[in-house]
Amino acid sequence: MNHGIAFDDEALSAIRRAYARQMLAVAGIADDPALEDAFAAVPRESFLGPPPWRMVAHGGYRELPSSDPVVAYQDINFALAAERGVNNGSPSLHARWLHHAGLKAGSRVAHIGAGTGYYTALIAHLVGPEGRVTAVEFDPDLARLAQRNLSDRANVTVVQGDGADWPRETVDCVYVNFLVQRPADAWVERLDRGGRLILPLGVPRPKRSPGGGTHTLHGAGLCVERTGAGFAVRWLGPAFFVYAEGALAESSEDDALKTAFEKGGVEFVRSLRWKEAGKPGRCWFRTPDWSLSYDEP
């Protein structure tokens, strides 16, 4: 139910601009006009499905009493598939992550875990008509919605499939939006020089949450950049996402990764050692196949 003044298109445009500036400020971003423009341009309500909308609250969901589009322009999570705990996530978190992704006009991006396409649309705006975005979504219903929602964006291709299998070609950025306990090989190995992998790494809770789905027990956002010397890593802060489905849902490393998070220090990681164990005593997390090291690449 809506009461009071209805916002026309001009007013909604101003509200989106204010929302964009607020999200960048909350994310600690002082100056990124391209990202501000992306948040101001894309109508979030178009990607939330029909009202009534449900927001994440107190470990579950609460129905919003308003279908006014203005309510979408807050730093809250909206349910996309509540029974599985899949949400349209925090705009301020994505503002921070997209800022660190360093996307430019013409960039090639794989968006893994695209949901219904809101953040894909922001990425498409950032890379412009010269860029290419491949949006991969595991859930067939969400993939169909993303296809519909993004049909007017010629620089986007939507794929229904397992995100572990993408990208198939070299890209400038892999942007992952579900929790994993290890990066997929394709995410690391198909990064171009200077390319960045943005992902939430962590450990899922042992049981499904009351709101649906399996969510994060411990998690960290990481930015992995391919350099001439190897893979540099920057910590982007805590991260709480729904857990992976498909090939990445199973892991033999959960106990060791849980121990690493409980020990602390992920914020001091400086490099990814890929297809190697890393030096004993110099790694926050170490396996025979990959490690996160305190040393520079």
In a domain, 97, yes or no: yes
Say if residue 2's pLDDT is above 70. Answer: no
The whole-number average pLDDT for the span 190-204 is 98
Say if residue 46's pLDDT is above 90. Answer: yes
Say if residue 211's pLDDT is above 70. Answer: no
Rounded Cα gap, residues 128 and 223, in angstroms:
22
pLDDT, position 58: 83
Say if residue 42's pLDDT is above 80. Answer: yes
Q: Which domain holds residue 234?
A: 9-293
Rounded Cα gap, residues 289 and 275, in angstroms:
5
pLDDT, position 166: 98
The number of domains in the chain is: 1
In a domain, 215, yes or no: yes
Tens of pLDDT, residues 102-157: 999 999 999 999 999 999 999 999 999 999 999 999 999 999 999 999 999 999 99
| Sign, CA torsion 262/268/274/276 | negative
pLDDT, position 254: 76
Q: Would you state the torsion angle of the CA atoms of residues 239, 119, 105, 33, taken in this order, to the nearest 10 degrees?
A: -80
pLDDT, position 212: 61
The whole-number average pLDDT for the span 4-9 is 78
In a domain, 109, yes or no: yes
Question: Which amino acid does the sequence have at 211?
Answer: G
Cβ partners under 8 Å of residue 14, min gap 6: none
Rounded Cα gap, residues 196 and 188, in angstroms:
9
Rounded Cα gap, residues 216 and 198, in angstroms:
17
Say if residue 1's pLDDT is above 90. Answer: no
Q: What is the CATH number of the domain that holds 193?
A: 3.40.50.150
Contact 123, 175 (CB under 8 A): yes
Q: Please, is 31 exposed, middle or buried when counting C-beta atoms within 10 Å of its C-beta (0-12, 13-18, 19+)?
A: exposed
pLDDT, position 214: 85
Rounded Cα gap, residues 244 and 221, in angstroms:
15
Question: Which amino acid does the sequence have at 82?
Answer: A
111: left (phi over 0), alpha (psi -120 to 50) or beta: beta
The whole-number average pLDDT for the span 252-281 is 94
pLDDT, position 149: 99
pLDDT, position 209: 58
Helix-then-strand count for the chain, H and E: 7, 14
Contact 246, 163 (CB under 8 A): yes
**Better pLDDT: 289 or 208:** 289
**Better pLDDT: 212 or 133:** 133
Tens of pLDDT, residues 64-84: 999 999 999 999 999 999 988
The whole-number average pLDDT for the span 29-57 is 97
In a domain, 3, yes or no: no
In a domain, 4, yes or no: no
